[in-house]
A = this chain, B = another copy of it.
Amino acid sequence: MNEERLKRQLEFLKEADKLKTVFRQTYLVDGSRRENDAEHSWELAFMVILLSDYAGEKKLDILKLLKMTLIHDIVEIDAGDTYIYDKEGMKEKEVKEAEAAGRLFSILPDDQCAELKSLWEEFERRESPEAKFAAALDRFQPLLHNYYTRGRSWNEHGIDSNRVLNLIKDIEEGSAVLYKAAKDLVYRAVDAGFLKRGS
């Protein structure tokens, strides 16, 4: 047994626990409070288990996809969560998150540092089928929660349907089925009065 290796892995897990204290704009389905990044990551991984057939023709590496969803937000421990509609915040996001990745993953043994950093970078680039599908889920999940909470987060931030429709275009690259479902949800949200109609 390599004690130094286990020590670094446990040190990383201790640090990773902070993800449970990074809160997002999204509310839980029951509306009781905002959700945190650890809960969000768990839900995304669960969505991989249930929904990955919707990636279409492409044969996805499900193991890679699960790992990717589990780690995709870990950099927010240092960088914080940036609200997707916050234009200024989104500009700084990339630099802050790259710094965070450098610090966090280097706590791990070298081989695992390299594996997870590469997986996180793959997610960020949105080029591989797995990264595109993970990104699609990352857009689809808050949409579901917004719908279930009668547009609570949208309304708090004055978001209208044009902005939502513009944002969810990204889903199409990952899954045509989920993109269609997402658009339907936006139209239903507008009809139900949960989301302001874009002018």
Q: Interface of A with B (CB < 8 Å)?
A: 1, 6, 9-10, 12-14, 16-21, 28-30, 32, 35-36, 38-39, 41-43, 45-47, 49-51, 54, 62-63, 66-67, 70-71, 108, 112, 116, 144-145, 148, 177, 180-181
Our pick among B13, B20, B45, B177 for the contact of A70 (Cβ within 8 Å) is B45
| Contact partner, A50, options B47, B108, B148, Cβ 8 Å | B108
- A30 with B17: CB separation less than 8 A: yes
Give the Cβ gap from A129 to chain B, nearest Cβ, in Å. 17
> How many angstroms from the CA of A145 to the CA of B10 in the assembled complex?
11
Q: Is the CB of A12 within 8 A of B50?
A: yes
Structural contact, A43 and B50, CB atoms closer than 8 A: no
Q: Which residues of B contact A181 (CB under 8 A)?
A: 6, 10
Most buried by B among A18, A19, A39, A50: A50
Chain B minimum-CB-distance residue to A16: B46
**B13 close to A21 (CB less than 8 A):** no
Q: Residues of B contacting A30 with CB < 8 Å?
A: 17-18, 21
> What is the CA–CA distance of A45 and B48 in the complex, to the nearest angstrom?
13
Q: Which residue of B lies closest to A12 (CB)?
A: B50
Chain B: which residue is nearest A74 at the CB level? Answer: B46
Q: Which residue of B lies closest to A15 (CB)?
A: B29
Q: How far is the CB of A114 from chain B (nearest CB, A)?
A: 13
In the complex, which residues of chain B have a beta carbon less than 8 angstroms from the beta carbon of A10?
144, 181
B70 lies within 8 A of A49 (CB) = yes
Q: Chain B CB within 10 Å — which of A20, A36, A63, A145 has the most?
A: A20
Complex Cα distance, B35 from A19, in Å, reads 12
Residues of B within 8 A of A9 (CB): 50-51
